[in-house]
Amino acid sequence: AVRPRDISALEKRAELLLQAGQLERYLEALSDLVAMRPRSDRLNLLLALYRLHGRFDAELTLMQAHAGSKYLGHSQLERFGAILAERGDWTAAERWLERANQIAPPNDSSGRLLLFDVLVQRGRAAVAFRLARHWIPEWRSAYLSAKLILRMAQAGLDAEAAALAQLCLDVMPDATFDIVGVLTSRGHATVSQQMLAHWSARTAKPTGDQLRSYVYASVRAGDSQRPFLKLAQLVRNGAAPVMQARLAEELAYAYGFAALAPLRSLLSTDVLATRPLFSAELAI
């Protein structure tokens, strides 16, 4: 009381109040310390305690007071943006989530996904698309990339979703079929078909496992034509006989052997000899 601005004394008082279990007085003392001498660790502790005890209005007021300072890290700014978005203050939510995006580590995703949602909600799809094109190569995550593509598609932005899908294919070709599976299962087969078409056009020497996944993904996405065109392309380009036979085999098992009748004459003896059991089934 005699030395009201003695920080050491105020800190000791707050510790004693905490040890005595006097929560209300402890929070008041800690709040006084933050107001008098703000510090990142002290501010984060008070915010965490407000959140823990359900004092969300006090938490929001404290974040509003310090949002523009150096004391709030990216995780606190993401929390601030989430609360503002939940309350419908989209402009302020975008502002602080964009700030969090600027200072967050490259691999951070939670706040950036929320920023993406806020931008789409506000009709700023071009900005969301530009940011997503930067994040996808940083993350290199099929799961996170599929989320961005899916949210674009759900907003009716099929062209942007397809462009992001193509970027994923360029950056993470091995994740193509995982992303396609997510899009198809969530009802966006059109984007899946475009992604599969791009994969087919750019992959000159697919492996057997890739061909199986390609045919399976095409069946699920409702594209029954392009895999057969891919087989004709492999034959026309003189691809390895085993590659031609493997795709023909996968098509036969997916669509039935009769489906290969129009292309049967394209499969040479050398091609069929690489998969003798399949060839015998086809002959029968």
**How high is the pLDDT of residue 137?**
93
Q: What is the mean pLDDT of the chain?
A: 91
Question: Which one-letter DSSP state was computed for residue 169?
Answer: H
| 37, pLDDT greater than 90 | no
CB 54 within 8 A of CB 66: no
Burial (0-12, 13-18, 19+ Cβ within 10 Å), 175: middle
Tens digit of pLDDT for each residue in 107-162?
Answer: 899 999 999 999 999 999 999 999 999 999 999 999 999 999 999 998 888 889 98
The alpha carbon of residue 80 and the mean position of all alpha carbons in its chain are separated, in whole angstroms, by 21
**How high is the pLDDT of residue 9?**
85
pTM metric for this prediction: 0.78
> CB under 8 Å, gap of 24 or more: what pairs does 95-99 form?
96/67, 99/67
